[in-house]
Amino acid sequence: MDRRQPDHAKHMILEGLTDIFHEQERCQEDIRASLAGRMDELREENGKKLQLTLTEIHILSCIGDHEPINVTSIAEKMKTTKPTVSRSCAKFLEAGFLRRTRLSDNKKEVYFRLTPAGKELHSLHHKYHEMIKKRLLAFLDRYTDEELLFAERLFRDLSANWRSVNGGGEQLLK
């Protein structure tokens, strides 16, 4: 076997992954932009100004998926910091997408629930994810079970490798 073929395939895989990362960024921006239109309408209704990042949209969605939920639990589920969650929740509260509650057995701890406007954004966000999931699953129907098992293994290994080198960018800057 010509050694150049596997090397070429490796480079093509790397190029394909790079394309996927870029497409993912574009897709996420499209989702954020689509949600922004409805957020603008809700802001006008509530008289509030708000610009959400994609991370903040995912924090809002996490709250909707697990309400009532506190800052610590949100940070753990989102794998982010408590200050990031606290800042996001402050924005949501001010914009009218979130409300504070306390559980009857623990009056000290603050929990969050979505308001009707927050529930609407949560629902829109989930609809986008479901649409993407449906399209991807339909796309994967073209592959054999054997090909899918190999792809699953490849992506699992890539993900593990990515986690092991995460933070390596700091080394490049030294």
Residue 141 vs residue 6, higher pLDDT: 141
CATH (one of 1.10.10.10, 3.40.630.10, 1.20.120.1080, 1.10.1740.10) for 4-163: 1.10.10.10
* pLDDT (tens digit per residue) in 58-99: 999 999 999 999 999 999 999 999 999 999 999 999 888 999
SS3 101: strand
pLDDT category of residue 172 using cuts at 50, 70 and 90? very low
- Distance (Å, rounded) from C-alpha 69 to C-alpha 62? 9
- Model pLDDT, residue 85: 96
d(CA 154, CA 160): 10
The pLDDT confidence band at residue 173, using thresholds 50, 70 and 90, is very low
Share of the chain above pLDDT 90, in %: 41
- Burial of residue 9 (CB within 10 Å: 0-12, 13-18, 19+) is exposed
Give backbone dihedrals phi and psi of 132, rounded to 5 degrees, phi first: -65, -45
Residue spans of the domains in the chain: they are: 4-163
Average pLDDT over the chain, rounded to whole? 84
- Give the pLDDT of residue 140: 95
